[in-house]
Structure 1
Amino acid sequence: MKFEERIELAHKNLREKGVWELNYNPPLDRVLRKLGFRLPPPYYQSFPKNFIFILFSCTPIFLIVNFMVETASSVTFFYLFSESIIDGISFSVIMSAFYLIRRKQLKLKEWKPLCD
């Protein structure tokens, strides 16, 4: 089964189970798929894969937000950077756990045998 067919089947399956579209097809995933990356929905990825993906995609966002909020104060860049990493790790753990728990609650198949 082709990747596009499998992704459509996964989206249909998640839609039928009542999952919001922004949860099973996040905007960043859509952009990366249009650029040619073959990413399964977060519900079909393992905890470590979700953790790493969310960490590397959200930590720069936290850095930008922290920089914009703290520009008036005399905070060092190292402090902003370390705070952003802590925020990114915390958010990654929470979201990865959310996807893992919801995958078990929804009784979803694994990504590889999805086409069976």
Structure 2
Amino acid sequence: MSFQDKLEAAQKELSEANIWKSNHNPPISVLLIKLGFNIRPFHYCSFISNFITASLWFGSVWGLLMWFTSWQSSGMTIQAALIGSFFAGILFGLFMALYYKHSAKKNNLSHWHTL
């Protein structure tokens, strides 16, 4: 089965489970798919994969936004900003990975390889 076929089957299963479209097809996924990346819906990824992905993108984006909007003008050092971004990313990544793991289990979703 091709990646596109599995993706369509996963989207159908997620819709039938009444999971909000914004939860199973978030903007970051839409963007990456439009850019040509073959990424699974987060409900079908491993805990560690979701943790790393969410931690990296959130920590980076949040850190840059905070640096340019408030941290730089308040005199925060770059090292403190990096540490703050790192811990914010870790916390966000942990909670998002837990959410997707819990949601997949609660809704009795198939595993990616069985779609």
Deviations 1:38-82 (A, max 9, x none): 111000001001011111211111112221122331111111111
Instruction: Give TM-score scaled by structure 1 length.
Output: 0.92
Query: Which amino acid is 1:98 matched to?
Result: Y
Would you say how many aligned residue pairs link Structure 1 and Structure 2?
114
* 1:84 maps to amino acid: S
Equivalence for 1:58: 58
Gaps of 5+ in 2: none
Structure 1's unaligned 5+ residue stretches are none
Residue in structure 2 matched with residue 79 of structure 1 by the alignment: 80
* Residue of structure 2 in register with 1:4 after alignment: 4
**Residue 111 (str. 1) matches residue 112 (str. 2):** yes
Give me the CA root mean square deviation: 1.0
Equivalent-residue separation in structure 1 for 2:85 and 2:96 (angstroms): 16
Counterpart in 2 of 1:70?
71
1:13 equivalent to 2:13? Answer yes
> Secondary structure of 1:82's match?
helix
Helix, strand or coil: the match of 1:54?
helix
Query: TM-score, normalised to structure 2's length?
Result: 0.93
Aligned to 2:97: 96
AA partner of residue 114 (structure 2): P
Give the secondary-structure state (helix, strand or coil) at the position aligned to 1:107: coil
